[in-house]
Amino acid sequence: MVDNQYRIYLPDYDNLEIVLTPLPKTLYFFFLQNPEGVQLKELYKHREELIKIYSRIGNRTDMDTIRKNIYELTDVRSNSLNEKCSRIKEAFLSKLDDSIAHHYYITGSRGENKRIIIDPSLIDFQKIK
């Protein structure tokens, strides 16, 4: 569940909050909204969607900074995307055993779509649309 301040809670686990900074949270929300997944090398095609999400949940109002952060995130030459995926995984693993957490973080084989494998019908994320 995502509340009106874009905080992530897991109702099935005593409303456990998963804390992420704005850029990893942006990436996470993007994948929640795209349950079929996306190849990471194709993420640049979704920059405008990522910018919309980031500008809503981030503390930034400067569009140049927002665009710069999203462009870096989606640049295949940068390590930013891998770092953000790792932060997301760490946030869930710090609160849940991997047998449960792997349903919530971004996964996928090399060269295939990365996705969050939890059933999309179980996610309440109307606030991020």
Contacts of 31 (CB under 8 A, 6+ apart): 37, 38, 106, 114, 115, 116
pLDDT of residue 129: 53
pLDDT of residue 89: 97
Full-model pTM: 0.92
Reading the chain (129 residues) residue by residue, the pLDDT tens digits are 888 888 999 988 999 999 999 999 999 999 999 999 999 999 999 999 999 999 999 877 789 999 999 999 999 999 999 999 999 999 999 999 999 999 999 999 988 999 999 987 777 765 555
If you compute the radius of gyration of the chain from its CA atoms, what whole number of angstroms results? 14
pLDDT of residue 72: 97
pLDDT of residue 63: 92
